[in-house]
Amino acid sequence: MTNIEQNLKNIRENIAVAAQKYGRDLNLITLVAVSKNHSIEAIKAAAKAEQKDFGENRIQEAIPKIAALKTHNLTWHFIGRIQSNKAKLIAQNFDWVHSVTRTDIATLLNTHRPANLPPLNICIQMNLDAEESKDGIALDEIAPLIQIIAKLPNLKFKGLMIIPAPNKDFDQQFQTFKKLTDAAESLQPGLQLSMGMSDDYTAAIAAGATIIRIGTAIFGERYS
């Protein structure tokens, strides 16, 4: 068994244990394997181990991977910062976008979504710490953006996403994720919560994550 297969097995076990421990329905937690800076071969190894959802954060890197893996029927999640001149390629190639923060970007994604594809699934990226260095918008900016996205026929608003500042403390990780869960509940029921990475996914599951995005713990360290 390759490392990737073994790592995936371990993570799936950990997710199941966490779901059990925190009273979550395992079927409502999707694992996105973040394959940025990792090869097509690495993605193939994960796909062979029945991993379906993959995350990429740079469009130039993602396009050849998506093209090469067309026949594998994978689901692709864009999780990086979106420049307006890249919105078209994102709309053409991805199934999900987790990192929408602006109306103009949402409009561009809608315009460029090909008519033969289903609506592009959208999460809005939030920033709860109001750290200027990080992407994401504040709670009071979310509702107007949701209203605009709801009117765009080629987009489907799904939920909220967050990348908290790294924190080693489980309780603090949990508190931050819980804020996103509470924010989502105050907006509308049944939203997806895209939160939790290699170092904090257990706390994210405890707090209600429905999509966790894991790179290093599946594929190993990134060297670039």
- Give the count of beta carbons closer than 10 Å to the beta carbon of residue 182: 13
What's the min distance (Å) between Cβ of 103 and ligand PLP? Answer: 21
Of 40, 137, 139, 197, the one binding ligand PLP by CB under 6 A: 197
**Part in contact with ligand PLP (CB under 6 A); list of ranges 13-21, 40-48, 114-122, 209-217:** 209-217
30 lies in the binding site for ligand PLP (CB under 6 A): no
Cβ distance to ligand PLP smaller for residue 24 or 38: 38
Of 79, 106, 160, 193, the one binding ligand PLP by CB under 6 A: 79
Q: Which residues pair with 77 in a beta bridge?
A: 55, 96
Count of residues touching ligand PLP (by CB under 6 A): 13
The residues in 10-29 that bind ligand PLP, with binding defined as CB under 6 A, are none
Q: Half-sphere exposure of 61 toward its Cβ, with a 13 Å CA cutoff?
A: 15
**Part in contact with ligand PLP (CB under 6 A); list of ranges 137-145, 148-156, 174-182, 211-219:** 211-219
34 lies in the binding site for ligand PLP (CB under 6 A): yes
Cβ distance to ligand PLP smaller for residue 87 or 211: 211
DSSP state, residue 21: H
E-strand spans in the chain? Answer: 30-34, 53-56, 75-78, 96-100, 120-126, 155-162, 192-194, 211-214
Name every residue whose Cβ is closer than 8 Å to that of residue 222 and which is 6 or more positions away in sequence. Answer: 36, 37, 38, 215, 216
Rounded to 5 degrees, what are φ and ψ at 221?
-65, 150
The residues in 85-144 that bind ligand PLP, with binding defined as CB under 6 A, are none
Q: Of the candidates 25, 19, 12, 31, which has an alpha carbon nearest to the alpha carbon of residue 196?
A: 31
Instruction: Give the footprint of ligand PLP on this chain (CB under 6 A).
Output: 34, 36, 57, 79, 163, 197-199, 213-217
